[in-house]
């Protein structure tokens, strides 16, 4: 994303300070801020506060946050960077993982709950994501190798969040697609190719914004994570309100039916 000043927030000089989903969170909040707020009636009936423009970015942020938590918990010896901004075209790497098994770019696909999108189940869409993931890994390898002054291979991973199976995913050669539940186990069991000293050195180089930015002086966007947390709470609260109204409506139907049946009975008992 292009850099924008956010009052009270400073862009980190070490990309290890970036939270998961930072880029998409920033874009979500910008689009949400440009949308009119819910009406009082909409709030009462649980209308989602998310605008149609912000929703895709919100969904993307949820996926990146979920995978980011898994990567942060892989264990000692691993280093992970989130939302790594690349170049000056607004692109970023969802996650960059560096550890004993090598260097990986990690792309996220969300398949969970109400946010499961039909296109994510489409093999052609999955293949398109895979091709972009391969190109992203190749670009990361070029830039990381140039900054480190030695060849560094980068593998592409696509992680699906909430997918029951991967049978409908057609992936090109050069990318590995994993379910979120399998990610940690796979990484821990992968063959070792880097020693601890190598991991530390590569991680330090990868954490520099200058490794990825096209022009000197560019930096990663700051992001207002608390604002996104508040938005997420509002979305959940609205969903709870809608569920309560649905439950109330379901209860009202049998009550109304019972009342309609009971009225003639009561009338018949009257003198």
Would you say residue 27 lies in a domain? yes
What span, in angstroms and rounded, lies between the C-alpha atoms of 125 and 107? Answer: 14
- Strand spans (E) along the chain: 79-86, 91-99, 102-110, 154-161, 175-179
- Whole-number mean pLDDT of the chain? 81
Would you say residue 39 lies in a domain? yes
Would you say residue 250 lies in a domain? no
Would you say residue 237 lies in a domain? no
Would you say residue 271 lies in a domain? no
22-26, 68-72, 207-211, 242-246: segment of lowest average pLDDT: 242-246
What's the mean pLDDT in 37-60? 90
pLDDT of amino acid 12: 56
Please name which of 111, 89, 65, 84 lies closest in space to residue 16, comparing C-alpha atoms. 84
What's the mean pLDDT in 247-267? 58
The Cα angle at residue 34 between residues 113 and 2, in degrees rounded to 5:
85
Would you say residue 189 lies in a domain? yes
Give residue 171's pLDDT band: very low, low, confident or very high (50, 70, 90): low
Contact between 178 and 160 under an 8 Å Cβ cutoff? The reply is yes
Q: Which two tokens stand for residue 148?
A: 């480190």
* Tens digits of residue pLDDT in 78-104: 999 999 998 766 689 999 999 999 999
Which residues, including other chains, have CB under 8 Å from residue 183's CB and lie 6 or more apart?
A: 67, 70, 71, 157, 159
Q: Which two tokens stand for residue 125?
A: 């869409």
Would you say residue 255 lies in a domain? no
Would you say residue 184 lies in a domain? yes
More confident residue, 111 or 82: 82
Question: Count of domains in the chain?
Answer: 1
- Which range marks the domain in which residue 208 is found? 15-226
């Amino acid at each position: 994303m292009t850099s924008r000043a956010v009052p009270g927030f400073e862009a980190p000089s070490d990309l290890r300070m970036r939270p998961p989903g930072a880029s998409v969170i920033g874009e979500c909040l910008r689009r949400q801020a440009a949308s009119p707020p819910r009406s009082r009636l909409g709030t009462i009936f649980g209308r989602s506060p998310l605008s149609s423009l912000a929703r895709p970015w919100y969904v993307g942020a949820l996926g990146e946050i979920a995978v980011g938590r898994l990567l942060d918990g892989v264990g000692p010896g691993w280093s992970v960077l989130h939302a790594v901004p690349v170049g000056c075209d607004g692109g970023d790497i969802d996650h960059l993982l560096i550890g004993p098994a090598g260097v990986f770019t990690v792309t996220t696909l969300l398949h969970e709950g109400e946010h499961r999108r039909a296109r994510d189940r489409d093999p052609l869409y999955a293949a398109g994501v895979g091709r972009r993931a391969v190109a992203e890994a190749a670009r990361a390898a070029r830039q990381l190798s140039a900054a480190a002054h030695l060849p560094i291979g980068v593998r592409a991973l696509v992680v699906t969040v909430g997918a029951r199976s991967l049978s409908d995913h057609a992936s090109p050669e050069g990318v590995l697609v994993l379910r979120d539940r399998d990610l940690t186990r796979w990484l821990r069991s992968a063959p070792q190719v880097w020693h601890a000293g190598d991991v530390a050195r590569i991680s330090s180089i990868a954490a520099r914004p200058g490794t990825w930015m096209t022009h000197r002086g560019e930096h990663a966007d700051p992001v207002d994570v608390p604002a996104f947390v508040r938005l997420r709470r509002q979305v959940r609260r609205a969903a709870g309100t809608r569920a309560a109204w649905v439950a109330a409506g379901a209860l009202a139907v049998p009550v109304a039916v019972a009342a309609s049946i009971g009225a003639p009975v009561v009338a018949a008992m009257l003198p």
